[in-house]
Amino acid sequence: MLKLFRTTTFRLALILMALFGTAAAGAIGYIYWQTNVLLSRQLEQTIEAEIQGLAEQYRAGGMLNLAKTVANRSLTPGNSLYLVTNASGQRVAGNLTSISQDLWNSVGRVEFVYDRPGQKGTESRLALASVFRLTGGFRLIVGRDIEDRRVFERVVRSAFFLGLGFMALVGLGGGWVVSRSLLTRIDAVTEISRTIMTGDLSGRVPVYGSGDELDRLSENLNVMLERIEQLMVGMREVSDNIAHDLKTPLNRLRNRAEAALREKGGAKPYREALERTIEEADDLIKTFNGLLSIARLEAGTAGEAKEEIDVGALIQDVVELYEPAAEDKGMSLTANAPKGVYLTADRQLIGQALANLIDNAIKYGSDDDVGGAIHVSAAEIDDVIEITVSDNGPGVLEKDRKRILKRFVRLEESRSRPGSGLGLALVAAVAYSNGGEVRLDDNKPGLSAVLSLPRKTNHNGTVGTQ
Ligand SMILES: Nc1ncnc2c1ncn2[C@@H]1O[C@H](COP(=O)(O)OP(=O)(O)OP(=O)(O)O)[C@@H](O)[C@H]1O
Ligand SMILES: [Mg+2]
């Protein structure tokens, strides 16, 4: 409860309520005041007209005439009040029965309370009257009953306080409801951040789909959490890779060196063993470097050196580089390099990715290690550049296509060929860091690997708007 009172929404509701209350009070006060002014003016006019009439009678026929008129007028029921008394204060004519000493003594406009017989006995009512002293000690009191105004005042006052009370109730209630729903959502975020702090990165902030600012905040938090989780998983995978996939070759290297030492064959076998050791160490270094490149790409700390790349020229360069290798295997390597297709990215990384795809096509693109055609092409579709490398070898089964993009995954049938299983993982990492993707399609027969990249990306791999 206390937490609720301390929320910003609740305080805001209170402030708004106070402001609105003041404004409403001002408006009601003004209306009341204006109504009063109008009513008073009307009252004044009525009394004034009454006085004028009586004055005329008095001037025309003196005291007697006045008393007669007053007596006459007193007969018609209404809110007009009259009294004519003689010098000793006895009533001569009029409908006012008893008057106080104060009223008797005063002169001019007076407000007073008088008694009048009503349904429930005598009732005290408010009146406004003018008191005149006439010759011979006579007095004339002319006025009107203004009890209705007192009632009106009372009604307005009670309506005002009732309204204010109701408003306070609604304001507090509304503030309470809004604050509580907000608090529930904030509490959900707090709860999630607690579970995340304990190390469980899979938690996500609930999004209610209302599209409000809290939803937007939650969505952004979730994107952030997604990214953090990816990075953490990536880091864990790299350490796992180092622990498992690099330990075996290192052990092998060590055992071979040991075995060579145990051999007693002179300098020649030693030399051979050393050469093989260097070869394997080079492979290991290569694998290490590949692994590091992928990790850096996934963490978003590589590929910062972006430039405008002429895709056609790049394809030409890489294809030229691999032509001899393809020729050696009796394969044809052709390229359909378009002109005027540009890409903003790290040239070296894109080149490396393309090289890895062509290398795979040469390595696995022919069933029997002879023949086969490899084709490299590029096209721009809706601001997305697609570089395709297709071969007509055995291809990859549908179920393996996702799997081989992972680090160190090599298919059983390829084990005889050299490789560490990092080539496609690097291609995927390059694609990802540029906000693109790698697709492996069936070339019927063969494999068609598509590197699909948005023409322009911002630095952290998400597609930029332009
Ligand atoms: N064009 C292809 N045709 C058939 N299989 C392929 C093709 N490209 C890749 N593969 C399969 O996917 C596996 C993973 O490829 P990847 O390029 O990641 O590793 P690699 O070629 O074995 O080693 P590296 O590229 O690191 O030298 C390969 O071992 C192979 O089994
Ligand atoms: Mg490869």
Cβ burial, residue 134 (10 Å; 0-12/13-18/19+): middle
Nearest-5° Cα angle at 162, 158 to 165: 140
pLDDT for residue 408 is more than 60: yes
**CB of 450 shorter than 6 A to ligand 1:** no
Q: What pLDDT shows up at residue 370?
A: 61
User: How much of the chain, in percent, has pLDDT values that exceed 70?
Assistant: 97
pLDDT band at 240 (very low <50, low <70, confident <90, very high): confident
**CB of 353 shorter than 6 A to ligand 1:** no
**CB of 391 shorter than 6 A to ligand 1:** yes
Contact partners, residue 453, CB within 8 Å, separation at least 6: 343, 345, 350, 384, 385, 386, 387, 431, 434, 435, 436
Mean pLDDT, rounded, for 395-414: 92
Residue 459 Cα, ligand 2 centroid: separation in angstroms? 27
Ligand approaching nearest to the C-alpha of 361:
1
**283-304 per-position pLDDT tens digit:** 899 998 998 899 889 888 887 7
Write out the H or E segment, with its range, that includes residue 176: helix 147-197
pLDDT band at 135 (very low <50, low <70, confident <90, very high): confident
Give the residue, by CA position, lying nearest to ligand 1 atom 6: 364
Cα–Cα distances in angstroms (integers) from residue 413 to residues 140, 249, 358, 396, in the given order: 128, 20, 19, 10
Which pair of structure tokens corresponds to residue 370?
A: 């002879």
Higher pLDDT, 353 or 416: 353
The reported pTM is 0.61
From 241, 408, 414, 443, give the residue whose CB has the most ligand 1 atoms within 8 Å, as the site to mutate. 414
CB 146 within 8 Å of CB 78? no
pLDDT for residue 198 is more than 70: yes
Residue 194 backbone phi and psi in degrees, to 5: -65, -45
pLDDT band at 70 (very low <50, low <70, confident <90, very high): very high
Cβ burial, residue 168 (10 Å; 0-12/13-18/19+): middle
pLDDT for residue 90 is more than 60: yes
Mean pLDDT, rounded, for 238-254: 86
Looking at the structure, give the CATH architecture of the domain made up of residues 2-153: 2-Layer Sandwich (3.30)
Nearest-5° Cα angle at 249, 245 to 251: 110
**CB of 410 shorter than 6 A to ligand 1:** yes
- Quick one: which of 402, 390, 317 has its CA closest to 360? 390
From 284, 352, 375, 424, give the residue whose CB has the most ligand 1 atoms within 8 Å, as the site to mutate. 424
- The number of the ligand 1 atom at minimal distance from the alpha carbon of 418 is 27
Give the residue, by CA position, lying nearest to ligand 1 atom 20: 421
Tell me the pLDDT of the chain averaged across its residues: 89
Q: What pLDDT shows up at residue 369?
A: 56
pLDDT band at 96 (very low <50, low <70, confident <90, very high): confident
Phi-psi region of 369 (alpha: psi -120 to 50; beta: other; left: phi over 0): left
Ligand approaching nearest to the C-alpha of 428:
1
Domain ranges within the chain, ordered by starting residue? 2-153, 201-241, 304-466
Ligand approaching nearest to the C-alpha of 405:
1
- Helix (H) and strand (E) counts for the chain? 10, 12
Beta bridge partners of 343: 309
**336-378 per-position pLDDT tens digit:** 988 999 999 999 999 999 999 999 999 998 876 567 899 999 9
Cβ burial, residue 312 (10 Å; 0-12/13-18/19+): middle
Sign of the CA dihedral with 34 first, then 39, 43, and 45 last: positive
Give the residue, by CA position, lying nearest to ligand 1 atom 13: 410
pLDDT band at 243 (very low <50, low <70, confident <90, very high): confident
Q: In angstroms, what is the C-alpha Rg of the chain?
A: 51
Residue 392 backbone phi and psi in degrees, to 5: -125, 40
Fold: same for 2-153 and 304-466 = no
pLDDT for residue 76 is more than 60: yes
Q: What pLDDT shows up at residue 385?
A: 95
- The number of the ligand 1 atom at minimal distance from the alpha carbon of 410 is 29
**5-61 per-position pLDDT tens digit:** 788 888 888 898 899 989 988 998 999 899 999 999 999 999 999 999 999 999 998
First to last CA, the chain: 49
Which pair of structure tokens corresponds to residue 327?
A: 């020729």
- Where helices occur in 414-466 by DSSP H, the ranges are 423-433
CATH class of the structural domain 304-466: alpha beta
User: Is the backbone peptide bond immediately before 338 cis, with ω within 30 degrees of 0?
Assistant: no
Residue 23 Cα, ligand 1 centroid: separation in angstroms? 76
Give the residue, by CA position, lying nearest to ligand 1 atom 1: 361
pLDDT for residue 462 is more than 70: no
Q: State the SS3 of 77-106.
A: CCCEEEEEECCCCCEEECCCCCCCHHHHHC
From 364, 369, 407, give the residue whose CB has the most ligand 1 atoms within 8 Å, as the site to mutate. 364
Q: What pLDDT shows up at residue 254?
A: 93
Give the residue, by CA position, lying nearest to ligand 1 atom 4: 395
pLDDT for residue 74 is more than 60: yes
Taking the C-alpha atoms of residue 411 and residue 234, their distance in angstroms, rounded to an integer, is 22
Give the highest mean pLDDT range of 146-150, 191-195, 386-390: 386-390
- Quickly count: other Cβ atoms within 10 Å of residue 284's Cβ: 16
Taking the C-alpha atoms of residue 109 and residue 143, their distance in angstroms, rounded to an integer, is 9
Residue 448 Cα, ligand 2 centroid: separation in angstroms? 14
pLDDT for residue 461 is more than 70: no
From 363, 375, 407, 450, give the residue whose CB has the most ligand 1 atoms within 8 Å, as the site to mutate. 363
Taking the C-alpha atoms of residue 429 and residue 427, their distance in angstroms, rounded to an integer, is 5
pLDDT for residue 414 is more than 90: no
Ligand approaching nearest to the C-alpha of 366:
1
pLDDT band at 458 (very low <50, low <70, confident <90, very high): low
**Residue type, position 256, single letter:** R
- The number of the ligand 1 atom at minimal distance from the alpha carbon of 449 is 1
Q: What pLDDT shows up at residue 459?
A: 46
**CB of 68 shorter than 6 A to ligand 1:** no
Cα–Cα distances in angstroms (integers) from residue 152 to residues 37, 148, 149, 248, 275, in the given order: 13, 6, 5, 99, 113
Mean pLDDT, rounded, for 307-336: 95
Residue 223 Cα, ligand 2 centroid: separation in angstroms? 32
Q: How long a stretch of residues is the chain?
A: 466
Residue 332 Cα, ligand 2 centroid: separation in angstroms? 18
In order, the DSSP letters of 57-68 are HHHHHHHHHHHH
Q: What pLDDT shows up at residue 416?
A: 84
Side-chain-facing half-sphere of 396: CA atoms under 13 Å: 24
pLDDT for residue 457 is more than 80: no
Residue 177 Cα, ligand 1 centroid: separation in angstroms? 60
**CB of 372 shorter than 6 A to ligand 1:** no
CB 54 within 8 Å of CB 200? no
Q: What pLDDT shows up at residue 26?
A: 92
